[in-house]
Amino acid sequence: MLHVRLAAPAPTRPGILLPRRDLAVAWILMVLLAASAWALTVAQSRDTGMEPGTMGLALPVFLLLWVTMMVAMMFPSVAPVAITWVRAISRQSAGAVRAARIAQFAGGYLLVWTAFGLLAYGALAVTGRLMDGNPEVGRWLGAAAFLLAALHQFGPLKRVCLRHCRNPLSHLLRYARFRPWARDLRVGAHHGLYCVGCCWGLMIVLVPLGLMNVAAMAALAAVIFLEKLWRRGPWLTWAVGLAFLVLAALAPFQDWMLPGLQMPGPSMHPSMGRLY
């Protein structure tokens, strides 16, 4: 005769799984962070406008604006990876420790994009100097930016990094074997490097289109999101690359395609009502 022994279930440890309610909260938080960053970016774009170079911004102010832009553009596409890692953190910690670990992960990710922002600032500064010396060079700079972005779309680095971003589970399992010291910071930075490798070509087209061009940023954010999460994302990558090739061919002859490389003209003073 088969005897079945019943036992009380083992107590559940805090944070062993991220409950469905907490998972929904995590998604809502990511959306709210991205939406807040978009609101700040749109507000700043009204004050900054579009012009070649660094737009007169000091490096600390530029980096603050850059990080805000990256939160707006990248957080929707990075949400699945971030939330998956948060679930891993929740299995091991709770309360203030869990919050600190999540902050380390986000900090590592944004640290990489901040470093890329330093490179972007340098490139914009060089662009501004070239445009000051010869405004006509802008059309060739724009063509070069579109061409470089197209080559990146078709290149091996894009494929490798996009493969990671589209299927991060194997990497997340490897992250679990990282040494405990600053693990979450290093995980965030590691994934941030893949995101930069995947998206830097898309970011450089903001040079000809305008760094504070909100419409261009929204379009690029949609491309990044679909490339990473849509099942036909790799086909979209090729389509965008072909579009950039067309833009590279047309840019030297179509100034209207390069709003970010147009030298500012005389302004109308709102209180005086005349040019100054």
For residue range 197-217, what is the model confidence (pLDDT) as tens digits? 999 999 999 999 998 899 999
| pLDDT computed for residue 21 by the predictor | 62
* Residue-level pLDDT at 155: 94
| Domain boundaries of the chain, sorted by first residue | 20-257
224-237, pLDDT tens digit by residue? Answer: 999 998 888 889 99
pTM of this prediction? 0.82
Output the pLDDT for position 83.
Answer: 79
Of the ranges 30-34, 180-184, 243-247, which is most confident? 243-247
Residue written as tokens 């939406």? 35
Phi-psi region of 56 (alpha: psi -120 to 50; beta: other; left: phi over 0): left
Q: At what angle do helices 214-229 and 20-48 cross, to 10 degrees?
A: 150
Q: Is the pLDDT of residue 269 over 70?
A: no
Residue pLDDT, tens place only, 108-160: 999 999 999 999 999 999 998 998 888 888 899 999 999 999 999 999 999 99
pLDDT of 171 above 70:
no
Residue 271: both structure tokens together: 């209180």
